Amino acid sequence: MSAQPIQPEPADRPAILPMDAPAPAPKPVVPIVAPIGEVVLQVTDLAVRFPSDEGPVNAVQDLSYEARLGRTLAIVGESGSGKSVSSMAVLGLHNAKRSTITGSILLDGHEIVGAEESLLRKLRSNTAAMIFQDPLSALHPFYKVGSQIAEAYLAHNSVSKQVARKRAVEMLDLVGIPTPERRARQFPHEFSGGMRQRAMIALGLVNNPKLLIADEPTTALDVTVQAQILDLVKNLQQEFGSAVILITHDLGVVAEVADDILVMYAGRAVEKGLAKDVLARPQHPYTYALLQSLPSASEDSDRLLTIKGSPPSLVNLPSGCSFHPRCAVRDRVPGDACARTLPELRTSAPGRQIRCHLANPEQVLTEEHFA
């Protein structure tokens, strides 16, 4: 079968640039001028619902968290726990006609819930950007990689196309892509998986946003490339001073790069705290079970521990605690509170919050209950 020719770039896209014309240098990439630790994102009582033939899908409920400059927040949970849905709401990416969003999302002082599309366009890429899970789908297949990065820069800066082209090459070089001038003239399918992810990071950081959301950035990459991408994100965060939200189900990734952890289950936060504390001493049965299901290099085991059952339907959530049908220690709570009453997200220790009826979780959570 003969190869199909690549279609030429349409002439009616003014932001798509020739990549061979000389140009003056763009403004240098400079760190964010703001104190490290300043809150750039404040999410309060967020709820996201979608209509369906079976009833409303409660994808996110009663979710509150914050992201701070210079820190990485990892949002962890199984597929369907609401991680990506909540983060897409931060950028206003849900169709207002097909979703109901309540609560508050303050992004750099701007309210996102109910905001006009004109404001959202100004904030996307400029104040907050997202690295999507599949860069091959996120990048347009008909346009060169450098042109797509330059287009994002032109959208928020009053510069010439030549300056934007220079910035695109500069960003590709910054994320470690060799021969960036040549690579900028190539199409996404000509890049390897790891290089496409690096290009997505360059696209996300081209306008020096205060918040970078990375949605499963290492999915489908081999272990060596995963480590390189994680190191790149960590190093760029230190250089730019931005806040990073890392969406993942891989607790190994969390241990490597996260400062804070938010564990989600069935659309709700079930545990929050510093990464080192949560990983060392989990206080929610779900978090504990996730950690116990990881393979250990230091212990001999015939099989991995598993969490019994499956995540619940978001259309018909269980009564009480959503995790109680799968919880191995629900019998340690007196009466039937787990099945009847939804626990509040309460402070269990300084800087720690859990959504659980257990009065002394660290004493109850032991490996024998999950064997």
What does the pLDDT profile of the chain (371 residues) look like in tens digits?
Answer: 444 444 444 444 444 444 444 444 555 555 554 556 899 999 999 999 999 999 999 999 999 999 999 999 999 999 899 999 999 999 999 999 999 999 999 999 999 999 999 999 999 999 999 998 888 889 999 999 999 999 999 999 999 999 999 999 999 999 999 999 999 999 999 999 889 999 999 999 999 999 999 998 887 677 788 888 888 888 888 888 899 999 988 888 888 899 999 999 999 999 999 999 999 999 999 999 998 888 766 666 666 778 889 999 999 999 999 999 999 899 999 888 999 999 999 999 899 999 999 988 877 787 555 55
In angstroms, rounded to a whole number, what is the distance separating the alpha carbons of residues 12 and 186? Answer: 20
Query: What is the reported pLDDT for 367?
Result: 56
Please report where in the chains the tokens 């931060």 appear, as a residue.
Answer: 90
At residue 248, the 3 state secondary structure works out as: strand
Domains and CATH numbers, the chain: 39-127+209-296+305-370 (3.40.50.300), 137-208 (no CATH)
Q: What would you report as the CA-atom Rg of the chain, rounded to the nearest whole angstrom?
A: 22
Instruction: For the chain, give the longest Cα–Cα distance.
Output: 75
In angstroms, rounded to a whole number, what is the distance separating the alpha carbons of residues 123 and 115? Answer: 11
Query: What is the reported pLDDT for 30?
Result: 52
Element holding 67 (H helix, E strand): strand 57-68
In angstroms, rounded to a whole number, what is the distance separating the alpha carbons of residues 19 and 186? Answer: 10
CA distances from 52 to 59, 63, 99, 109, 362 (A): 12, 22, 10, 33, 40
In angstroms, rounded to a whole number, what is the distance separating the alpha carbons of residues 217 and 198? Answer: 10
Residue 299 bridge partners (DSSP): none
Comparing C-alpha atoms, which of 28, 25, 30 is closest to residue 162?
A: 25
C-beta of residue 194 within 8 angstroms of C-beta of residue 186: no
C-beta of residue 75 within 8 angstroms of C-beta of residue 246: yes
Please, where are the H alpha helices in the chain? Answer: 83-90, 117-123, 135-138, 145-154, 161-174, 180-183, 193-205, 223-240, 251-257, 275-280, 285-292, 337-340, 361-364
Query: What is the reported pLDDT for 16?
Result: 45
Q: HSE, CB side, 13 Å, CA atoms: give it for residue 246.
A: 28
CA distances from 58 to 50, 53, 79, 335, 363 (A): 7, 13, 14, 28, 33
What is the per-residue burial (b if ≥16 Cβ within 10 Å, else e) of 200-213? bbbbbbbbbbbbbb
For residue 229, give both structure tokens: 């991408």
C-beta of residue 329 within 8 angstroms of C-beta of residue 248: no
In angstroms, rounded to a whole number, what is the distance separating the alpha carbons of residues 22 and 163? Answer: 9
Strands 128-131 vs 211-215: parallel, antiparallel or unpaired = parallel
Angle at 86 between CA 80 and CA 87, to 5 degrees: 115
In angstroms, rounded to a whole number, what is the distance separating the alpha carbons of residues 235 and 295? Answer: 28
Residues 6+ away with beta carbon under 8 Å from 249? 76, 77, 78, 79, 216
Query: What is the reported pLDDT for 12?
Result: 43
Residues 6+ away with beta carbon under 8 Å from 62? 45, 46, 47, 268, 269, 345
